Structure 1
Amino acid sequence: MGKEYMLRFEHLFITRDSSQIIHDCSLHVASGELVVLLGANGSGKTTLARTLAGHPFYTITYGDILLNVESLSTATPTDRAKKGLFVSSQIAPSIEGISVRSLLYRMYQLHKKIDMIDFTRVVLEPLATSVGLNSAITERSFEQLSGGEFKRVELLSYLIAQPLCAWFDELDSGLDAAGKSVFVSLINQKRAQYPERMHVVVTHDLDCAQALRADRVYILDDGKISHIGSADLITHYKTGASRGL
């Protein structure tokens, strides 16, 4: 018997401002799998991420997104988070008067009730250290973070959310070599610790992609899935072989 797929994009067509961006995209992630998604700039990778997160600017005109056989098409972003979905962002949110710490605390509260003092001491501080951040940085607003700090905060958000399914939209972009090493190590560690969890990594860094030991690789080209294969596909993509097929 094959694996039961838990995250499924089924024949998705996605538009923004009446412009078709994604064309008949199907992508499956089974329990415990790590999938890598590759593609050139403008191929539609971020459109998939934002649609999965429930961004209001993107419309599914045909097809569906399923998590544990349940459609996400009408679920709010908060509902999706409660169902165990985490989607990283490439751009820091603009939320006036809200500190990073407050937002992380609200995220944690979706799954477990704890007061802010205990959250900071027991949860936030050790996890911040594990991604190379001083927890004092979380007292800032998102607008006050550097690009590299924001990426590490996104990785910290993933650790705090403890999601069933994590989708990283080029989280490694903007990280230095040490940050990329932390990213790869943490993902590999969490996969071993929680073998039922799913991870999708969207990246341009093919060395990073290879270090993650993907179960399956998808290549997105002009809004369509052009190739599906094993981790060996990363090597072919790296040499440019897949682009000529």
Structure 2
Amino acid sequence: MAEEKLLEIKDLHVTVDGTEVLKGVSLSVGEGEIHALFGPNGSGKTTLLNTVIGFARYHVTQGSIWFKGQDITNATIDERARLGVGISFQRPPTIRGVTLRSLISFSSPSLTDEEIERTAERLDAREFLDREINAGLSGGEMKRTEMLQIILQSPDFVCLDEPESGVDLENMALIGKAARIALGRDSFDGAGCRSIKSRRADYKAGLVITHTGQIMDHIFVDKGHVLMNGEIVCSGNAAELLGEIRSHGYTECFRCAGCAGRRA
């Protein structure tokens, strides 16, 4: 039986402010899979995630996005969120006049205040609940509040845009654990994924942008893709791809013998 595709992107062309950024991207993520997205700055990685989420600034001129068997190419952000698509941003905005607690309560109305408080405490983010969103926070503090939101939202498909960005080594283990929890691989009580998930199909799926690969020390990635100049130039084993990138850089990694037969 063929594995079901949770997210399927077909020949996606996207313009931003009149400039074509994505030029025919195709990839699919199966149920319970985590894929990593590599690529130099400006290659279109964040554009791809923001298009999947549905931001109006990102205009699909060709191709389609399918989620859970539904064409969501023209769906609104809230429609996609209700279907189970969520994102943790690399650089989340500061929102004046809105507290983190109120945003979480609005987006996840079934949560009790005790649940919010308990989860925030475990992410060392409780002190930020009644502050304006991201106001005066460091990069690492913003990441903790972002992970708090995605864990409590509990989407079926998790987009993580450079979760290690701005995080020091001391806090990387916490962010890594938070990513595992958001993806259904771990729990705050230390039980581990085997005791809380009986089947791989129960895991959340995800698409993770990473430059350093640090997040891959904390989550197992099933497949990697190299995105350059708006196109996927290579797909394959994520750890091997990262090793080639570190050794040869982006311009040469997909030409090397280690990538033979893996070009997308």
Find out whether 1:107 has 2:115 as its counterpart: no
CA contact (8 A) 1:148 1:174 kept: yes
Residue matched to 1:140: 131
Moved more, 179-188 or 214-223: 179-188
Find out whether 1:166 has 2:169 as its counterpart: no
Residue type at the aligned position of 1:44: G
In the TM superposition, what whole-angstrom CA distance separates every residue of 1:131-177 from its partner, at most 9, and x where no partner exists? 222x1311111223222211111110111011100000112201111
Residue type at the aligned position of 2:180: N
Residue type at the aligned position of 2:128: I
Distance 2:247 2:121 in 1: 37
Percent identity between the two aligned chains: 29
Find out whether 1:230 has 2:221 as its counterpart: no
CA contact (8 A) 2:40 2:250 kept: no
Residue matched to 2:261: none
Distance 1:15 1:241, change over 3 A: closer
Distance 1:242 1:40, change over 3 A: closer
Secondary structure of the residue aligned to 2:179 is helix
Residue matched to 2:71: 71
- Give the TM-score taking structure 2 as reference length: 0.83
Distance 1:85 1:148 in 2: 24
In the TM superposition, what whole-angstrom CA distance separates every residue of 1:180-225 from its partner, at most 9, and x where no partner exists? 2122223335223453310111011223335422100011011100
> How many corresponding residue pairs?
236
Residue matched to 1:47: 47
Find out whether 1:176 has 2:168 as its counterpart: yes
Secondary structure of the residue aligned to 2:129 is helix
Distance 1:43 1:241, change over 3 A: closer
Residue matched to 2:2: 2
Q: CA deviation at 1:10?
A: 0.9
Distance 1:43 1:241 in 2: 14
Distance 1:207 1:151 in 2: 14
Residue matched to 2:222: 215
CA contact (8 A) 1:170 1:201 kept: yes
Distance 2:148 2:218 in 1: 20
Q: CA deviation at 1:129?
A: 2.2
Residue matched to 1:26: 26
Q: CA deviation at 1:85?
A: 0.7
User: Structure 2 stretches of 5 or more lacking a match?
Assistant: 186-192, 256-264
- Give the TM-score taking structure 1 as reference length: 0.89
Q: CA deviation at 1:27?
A: 1.5
CA RMSD of aligned residues (A): 1.8
In the TM superposition, what whole-angstrom CA distance separates every residue of 1:36-73 from its partner, at most 9, and x where no partner exists? 11111101011111111211111000011111011222
CA contact (8 A) 2:11 2:64 kept: yes
Residue type at the aligned position of 1:180: M
Distance 2:138 2:5 in 1: 37
Distance 2:170 2:61 in 1: 41
Residue type at the aligned position of 1:120: D
Distance 2:217 2:167 in 1: 17
User: Structure 1 stretches of 5 or more lacking a match?
Assistant: none
Find out whether 1:200 has 2:200 as its counterpart: no
